[in-house]
Amino acid sequence: MIPVSPIGKKEILRIVICLTVTCLVASVILGVVYQWTEPAKRTLTAKREAELVRELLELKEGAIVLEVKRYLIEGEKPSMGYLLEKEFRLYDLEGNFLKSLEAPPPESHLIGRFFIAKDPDGNGLGYVTEASQYGFKSHIRFFVALDTHFQIRGVEVISHEEDPGLGAEITKPFFKNQFIGKTREQMRTLRVSKEPMSETISPDSPIYAVTGATISSRALTDGVRKAVEHLSVRLNLILPKGEK
């Protein structure tokens, strides 16, 4: 004999309706909270990253930092664009200048950015570029700071999802500070070593991997190498000759 449910159809319907209404109300509340807090979150993030740029380059009060945003413009002939302080410069994918615009066209997609620091007289003080590289679990987003001779001043991991106690150790000073002082030329041939870290670290030393997290260590190293090379190409496009 099939047992009869003690809850009738009307009661089941009432429970379903209550749960549905509860979910809808919760969704609306979460949406409102998100819309209210997200702008503040973006503002705080932008402020913190602007402070980080100045810290990495050790900029003094009065130094000027220009943020340059990089866009991909889709269409029959895809192109690249750079949003500077007073204009939007359009280039083809080979790096040839096309024209200047007042703002990015509607079909543009923001794909990156970097920062140029100058003193009040217009003399270059250094650069910071934002980049990302896929690590062991997901993308690692980071900043690389360089002086005007393209020697690394610092590396800072902004976000990641690497495992705590393993890949996450790439955020610690003992690992990321190994990049400091390395030049663009040294980065091109830089290797990652699984050996125990030497007591003496110099610009000619390899990057000593985090124990048990070689993939994360190599990912950040490869990412920094690419970021330095890509920044050099982009600065050659937008800066007048001799200004870099």
Three-state secondary-structure class, residue 93: coil
Query: CA 19 to CA 105: how far, in whole Å?
Result: 45
pLDDT at site 8: 66
Q: Which of 54-58, 110-114, 128-132, 192-196 has the lowest mean pLDDT?
A: 192-196
In the chain, how long is the greatest CA-to-CA distance? Answer: 92
pLDDT at 151: 96
Q: What is the pLDDT of residue 40?
A: 67
DSSP state of 140: E
Per-residue pLDDT tens digits for 138-192: 999 999 999 999 999 999 999 999 999 899 999 999 999 999 999 999 999 999 9
H-helix or E-strand spanning residue 235: helix 214-238
Percent above pLDDT 90 for the chain: 64
Helix (H) or strand (E) holding 81: strand 79-83
Residue percentage of the chain with pLDDT more than 70: 92
Q: How confident is the model at residue 241 (pLDDT cuts 50, 70, 90)?
A: low
22 or 191, greater pLDDT: 191
Tokens, residue 60 = 């003094």
pLDDT digits (tens, 9 = 90+) for 65-116: 999 999 999 888 899 999 998 899 999 999 899 999 999 999 999 999 999 9
CA dihedral of residues 230, 236, 237, 239 (deg, nearest 10): 130
Query: 């930092």: which residue's tokens?
Result: 65
